[in-house]
Structure 1
Amino acid sequence: MVGLRMRLSSTSLLLAGALAAGAAMFNCAPEASEEPPSIDSAAITGTKNHMGLRLVYDKETSRVRATLRRPLAEDEKLRLQVRRGRLSAQSQQELDCMALPEAPAEPPSTANIVVGFLTELATVYLGPFVDPSLLATVYDERWIMQHVTPKMLEELTTRGADSIVEACVVAGDEVRARVQTSIAYAWDQSDPSLVGHSLLAAGGGNIASNNPIEATNHANTMIGRPIRSMEKYAELCVDELGEIPFFPKLADGSYDTFDCRDFTTGSGLPIEGLEAAMIPQSQHDASGNDTTPAECDDTAPGSANCWKTCDHPDWRSQTCEPGPTVASARNARGTHWTLLCRSPGDSTDSLASRKATKVFNDIAMIGHNPKTGKTCFFQNKLHEGKDGGHVTHPADVERAREIWDNPKGYCGSCHSADAFIHSPWIDQAKRSDGTPIVPMMGKHHDFEVSWLSSPYSIVNREAMSNARVGDTDWAKPKQLVSAEAAACLSCHRIGDGDGIKRFPMWSVGEEGIASTQSFGNSDGTIAHRYSALGAKFESTHWMPPRLDGLTEATFPLSDYAKAVAHIKKCATNEDAHGCVWADVPGE
């Protein structure tokens, strides 16, 4: 094994879970190891283990490194591997250290590194090479738009969604330290700008250097650096937007969970200011009589759909699914956080089970501050991170992996005009005052109608885009500003991306256009999902909010219809005559 002697900041390594405060340093391997702590102690398992075992992925060499606060003793061994699998809140504690291969035995070498304020000795051992396939995302755009095939589900079940790096220090049959994390998190650990950010920020000093050999202190270091792991990206989002009310903080990097069926914390406590509800779903005939089937009549593996038709299908996946929930809360900094739990249960579940289950195959969250425009999107590991009874904070260093996928840029393709998208489906969920749970302009005081200059930006978008984090584009939001679309633009923006291909048309009873370059080749259709009531003019023409005398006969002659025709032209060809675009304010 390569023994690299590294000098690391005691502050930085403590925050990164790499060093333990007050520990003695050694210049050579001791003859015998110290007495191990209890096997159930956090001193052994996790980022705060007493040996400072920390895992780092080095992109330059394509190898994993393991950092320790002292050299291995003669009776100790480092076991280390990388693989595809399934991370969970329990998988680290259940890691079978004896089944791991020993780290590569290579001649030792030394190196010095200075990070932060003070220096302490640490030792780094080189691990295995990382196959490039482990850096590729499992969740491409087919997953997010529910174009999931049985073959995709089978592969997910067989191989798992996570690229894992895991290591243990053992002495005989005694486990001395154990860490399991994602390669994305280990990759972030190679950037000194990201290591230990939170507590250093609280103390007034941040690490800020692109060079891991000579790092210095500077403010706001995470902005402008590509961040691969959800834990670190969420840490930045909390810095920019404030805490997430769904998850009361227990300690640095540790949070309570959220139950998106009961709308409490995972420990059963109420959440101040929370508004939450199950999104209604039903089916009616043209006269308004309830014709909702007693059980599902149109199901398929991997699909959330339950009924052939319904009054208000979900726009994202064009499905009729009973049982999803949505919750919203505003924090002290004015940021609105919204959590959506959908695709409940399994395709074979009964209707009653879908409405009661705490298993949600699709869990997504948005944080948006309407004053600054700063926005963060979070998406679960679809069909994997589905424990809706214990949704974890995405910055929880030990438990985020249970639910959340690593950051992806595809959210901005639909959410291209503003953070929150509204539809007849999701706006059925109401607050206690009768307004939609999802923040809406004209309904909630800090979301104004006709404020087209309101800021909107995705946190750290440019750095994520430049590095193509998550193998996805992080496109800068653009808006249509053509005069021909003024009837619609007088109230709200129309963004580019995938949303413009469908949402404006669906708002006035038309079909969307085929999307062949993103999101699972959606054919743009939704009318086949409407019930008899849902297909009526008053239901399909959701925009404008007040029809003001317009009828099915007169609407095609209205300014709104003309505006949508222009929008559809620009959605088909953004360079078409008369299509004028501008950046959305915010960056």
Structure 2
Amino acid sequence: MAKSASICLPVVLALTCGASACVLRNSRHLSPTPATPSQAPTTTPNATPSPPAAPSTVTTTPGKLTPDNDVIEYAKLCKRELGIEHLPTLPHWNCLDGKEVPTTIQGLPLDADNYRLLTQHKIACDTPSWLGAEPCSNYGFVTHRTLAPNVEAYLICRDQKFTNHRDKAARLAEFKASPGADSFNSLYAFDSLGMIWTNSKTGKTCFFDFVGTVYGGYIPSPDDDHIPDFHELPDPKPPTELSTGTIVSQVWKRNARGTWRSPEHLADNDACILCHDTGALKGTPWVETVMTIPANPVKVPMILVGKSIAKWKDKYPVKAISTTPVTVNGKTEPQICTTCHRIGNLATCNADLGYSIGAAIPPNVPSTTSKDFFHRVWMPPAPESWKGKSDSELGKLWNDAYGPHVKRLMCCCKNPNAINCTSQDILAFPLPDPVPGKGPEVCS
């Protein structure tokens, strides 16, 4: 749920969301694993890479390449559908060029001591992620590019588990001081990639992802069939044991097919839409520490591009949940939580709504997550006039202003067909009107 200047409830740029509760695998060791559809190997973090018997630089589906079985053909379809087919092959990405999402504890940066307690779940971070098995894991980067008017692209590179407490600057300094496989892995290895292309005017949206350990220094755009040479890699380049001529160099000698999952694999094995149930983009306190994620336009549907991805429409029916006007302190008001964005019936209703109002916390996060009211309660945002008040005063003000809205909305999340509730199919074109609930349940 995206924060905006007006009163809103939450919209995770959670781009790599698996079907089983959005939990990612935990290998972070760079090795030449093809992107489709094999599984990343499980290794000890920071161990020196050992060459496999038969490396594979590019994996494709045998036979004719189509937008269903080939990511490059799918990306070409996406460019046509999003209105950017006139653009040449999109440039590659470097995870480290993005904005690093900081992990802090009571406002303090990570160090060896507090990181040890964090990994033992004895303390919590200030803004945990809403995705993955370790929401307080550090070392994630977000990059945004505008591809054309109304067409945006976002890349997230994430570490979904604990590795070490260092940030980018410290890892870079470590690698420069002692270049080798361990320090290179620490700097450049990520365990998931997620990318979204979306046209905010039409709602047409494409999802791309990879779950498994990946070199983050050179990420081909999904439409790029070029396999890079060593000289094209960013500085600092891989050390000798990972460079040209070695088997392990295959970790970076990959084009889009060797980097991104095929649309069929994505559609059948991942479930991005479970989290992205409000539209293409979704922000949380975690990502919004470095980048404001715009709310999806409430008058625009989300159109899933490609037959494979469109399977989600039937497998995971997405509805925007809202309510009839609410009476607060004797005044009737429109549902304040859906004035700037939608509330989706899947992850947003089932988990994110609770996280946003301080009623729940992500798994593996102690209850001491939030140091003050404004960390515990993200949405609806407090007016400027509330700043400087005590936590108890803020709690009363918030409950008086927003409590009736949130109470009814949470009831409608559980009972979307109840009286005083509405639901809307956001994957349909043209976008239909919200459908009022007919009961017999009543959400008061």
- Corresponding residue for residue 303 of structure 2: 457
Q: Which has the larger radius of gyration?
A: 1
CA RMSD of aligned residues (A): 3.8
Tell me the TM-score normalised to structure 1 length.
0.49
Residue 322 of structure 1: CA displacement?
A: 2.4
Asked if the contact 2:118–2:124 (Cα under 8 Å) also holds between the matched residues in 1, the reply is: no
Q: Structure 1: which amino acid aligns with 2:157?
A: C
CA distance in structure 2 between the partners assigned to 1:336 and 1:180 by the alignment:
27
Asked if the contact 2:34–2:57 (Cα under 8 Å) also holds between the matched residues in 1, the reply is: no
- Corresponding residue for residue 366 of structure 2: 528
Asked if the contact 2:301–2:427 (Cα under 8 Å) also holds between the matched residues in 1, the reply is: yes
Asked if the contact 2:198–2:204 (Cα under 8 Å) also holds between the matched residues in 1, the reply is: yes
Residue from 45, 49, 60 that aligns with 1:182? 60
Gap runs ≥5 in structure 2? 1-16, 39-55, 173-186, 227-254, 327-333, 387-392, 430-444
3-state SS, counterpart of residue 148 of structure 2 = coil
CA distance in structure 1 between the partners assigned to 2:216 and 2:338 by the alignment:
37
* 2:207 equivalent to 1:383: no
3-state SS, counterpart of residue 502 of structure 1 = helix
Residue from 316, 339, 342 that aligns with 1:490? 339
Asked if the contact 1:308–1:320 (Cα under 8 Å) also holds between the matched residues in 2, the reply is: no
- Corresponding residue for residue 8 of structure 1: none
* 2:111 equivalent to 1:282: no
Describe the superposition over 1:408-461 as per-residue Cα deviations: whole angstroms up to 9, x where unpaired. Answer: 34111211112111111111114xxxxx2x3x24xxxxx7xxx5213332223x
- Corresponding residue for residue 371 of structure 1: 201
* 2:58 equivalent to 1:236: no
CA distance in structure 1 between the partners assigned to 2:121 and 2:64 by the alignment:
41
Residue 390 of structure 1: CA displacement?
A: 0.7
Identical-pair percentage = 23
* 2:321 equivalent to 1:480: yes
Asked if the contact 1:188–1:232 (Cα under 8 Å) also holds between the matched residues in 2, the reply is: no
Describe the superposition over 1:473-497 as per-residue Cα deviations: whole angstroms up to 9, x where unpaired. Answer: 6545321132157121122211122
3-state SS, counterpart of residue 212 of structure 2 = coil
Tell me the TM-score normalised to structure 2 length.
0.63
Q: Structure 2: which amino acid aligns with 1:566?
A: R
Describe the superposition over 1:102-154 as per-residue Cα deviations: whole angstroms up to 9, x where unpaired. Answer: xxxxxxxxxxxxxxxxxxxxxxxxxxxxxxxxxxxxx9523x722547xxx69
3-state SS, counterpart of residue 322 of structure 1 = coil
Describe the superposition over 1:311-356 as per-residue Cα deviations: whole angstroms up to 9, x where unpaired. Answer: 1111223511222111111123430111111117x74445257854
* 2:272 equivalent to 1:411: yes
Residue 180 of structure 1: CA displacement?
A: 6.2
Residue 160 of structure 1: CA displacement?
A: 6.8
- Corresponding residue for residue 137 of structure 2: 321
CA distance in structure 2 between the partners assigned to 1:477 and 1:565 by the alignment:
21
Give the paired residue count: 330
Gap runs ≥5 in structure 1? 1-138, 165-177, 195-221, 264-275, 431-435, 442-446, 513-523
CA distance in structure 2 between the partners assigned to 1:244 and 1:387 by the alignment:
28
* 2:93 equivalent to 1:258: yes
Residue 229 of structure 1: CA displacement?
A: 2.8
* 2:414 equivalent to 1:572: yes
Residue 506 of structure 1: CA displacement?
A: 1.3
Residue 395 of structure 1: CA displacement?
A: 2.3
- Corresponding residue for residue 401 of structure 1: 257
CA distance in structure 1 between the partners assigned to 2:103 and 2:57 by the alignment:
44
Q: Structure 2: which amino acid aligns with 1:239?
A: R
* 2:375 equivalent to 1:539: yes
* 2:190 equivalent to 1:360: yes
Residue 161 of structure 1: CA displacement?
A: 6.2
Residue 187 of structure 1: CA displacement?
A: 5.7
Asked if the contact 2:154–2:197 (Cα under 8 Å) also holds between the matched residues in 1, the reply is: yes
Higher relative CO (Cα under 8 Å, sequence separation at least 6) belongs to 2
Q: Structure 1: which amino acid aligns with 2:195?
A: M
Residue 396 of structure 1: CA displacement?
A: 2.5
